[in-house]
Homo-oligomer: A and B are copies of this chain.
């Protein structure tokens, strides 16, 4: 964001290995931007540490074996005839008069092999294209919250104004690499045309990769067409270049609903990205034991991956894990717990076993942006990042178990993700950084502030957070004892005030508007699926 004084760590070689610096096309003059809070420049961090293995290799095989037995012996319900027919043609066993599908293990292990380990997810601005998989990380903004909240306005139902402001804020935050859906549901837009207006906003207010909801084939098609127009490419290019993704949640336990299957049929056939994500809350939609919840998660995920490869071998698909637990006294879902951390890590082990990119999430159950919101989020990041996540959903702004998107939480999380990114910067170890000459020059009892070794590096030596208040107690108290959430509120306002829309070809904008207009005239999409 800030070109002259960005929070990069000169102590690392991140500048050498990371993607080159890219100015957003709507960039402002340096002087103006330097008054904004410090941000690291846009870049996909790399997973540089060996992922943590929460279960042994043998235990992982036991989970894998159990999930294959689930698919063989119990099977899953696929609530769409075409999907069942295609699976049967590929070797799955149907049960007459039922939606049940069973899979022999050979079919599963054979079919998942064709899924790619890494691929590019294209943005309308090529500078924001993402590599998904391998050691690449990508963070997406909160999505699908029905409510929105900020300090002044409190919690309110989702609406287009807040939706647009969250999109603007996400566009301004360099750690937001993609949109995982609508940051908040603009429920004042009618469901039949909501995707048209929302996609128009997402494609004009921002230029990062997008997610479309699988809520009927019409929506899938409209959103893909709008992305095609925005990218200015033809259908054949789109079929070569994944340019949109959709999250496919199984209805745990063991069911894939009609619109989800239609989403796979539509997008896998067009070589677009499927993110299979069972939502396996242990004790509710999955066994109360973590091993059991993981076996079920894995069965559901593998079945979804198989479906994509049956539709189009080699089409991109991401292995998603979302196993958490419920509070068994109240039934309330819990997030960022020790259970969440460990299952996030095992999810990564499973995804790597199958050579698939891995999706996890930055979650919390807190109602306010307090210490709980922070510790649940950092614990979930600990689980996800050390678990080897590639695609992090709900990276910024997720509150209250996903029920509301928070403006202040957007900033807090963006800061957390900047710190995670800096944590992933390698420590440069060489003659120069080992600094023996500086240590010799300063000597026992001296001070390094004045050393040339320090002076030549101090501007960029360390990561600069947006929120952390490091003033001494007296200065902080004189300033009114501000807490982190108040600072986050201020930063969100500053960023929104500085927002400028990214460049777009007026002809493209016009074509998008015309498409929206035409599809509205046609009545949008059915809402009774």
Contact = CB atoms under 8 A, between A and B. Distances in A.
Contacts of A529: none
Interface stretch (A159-167, A187-195, A452-460, A508-516): A452-460
A286 interface: yes
Indicate the member of A63, A374, A448 with the most B CB atoms within 10 Å. Answer: A448
Given A55-B427, A379-B419, A77 B295 contact: no
A76 B444 contact: yes
A213 interface: no
A13 B445 CA distance: 50
A369 B485 CA distance: 12
A223 interface: no
A407 to B, nearest CB: 14
A337 to B, nearest CB: 6
Interface stretch (A67-75, A224-232, A258-266, A353-361): A67-75
A237 interface: no
A483 interface: yes
Contacts of A447: 284-285
Interface in A42-63: 49-50, 52-55, 59, 62-63
Contacts of A91: none
Given A77-B444, A444-B254, A334 B462 contact: yes
A236 to B, nearest CB: 39
Contact of A439 (B74, B333, B449, B458): B74
B382 A436 contact: no
A11 B372 contact: no
Interface of A: 9, 11, 49-50, 52-55, 59, 62-63, 66, 69-70, 73-77, 100, 147, 155, 251, 253-255, 282-292, 294-296, 325-328, 330-334, 337-339, 341-342, 346, 365-379, 382, 386, 400, 403-404, 412, 416, 419-420, 422-423, 425-430, 432-436, 438-440, 442-449, 451, 453-454, 457-459, 461-463, 465, 467-473, 476-477, 481, 483-485, 488
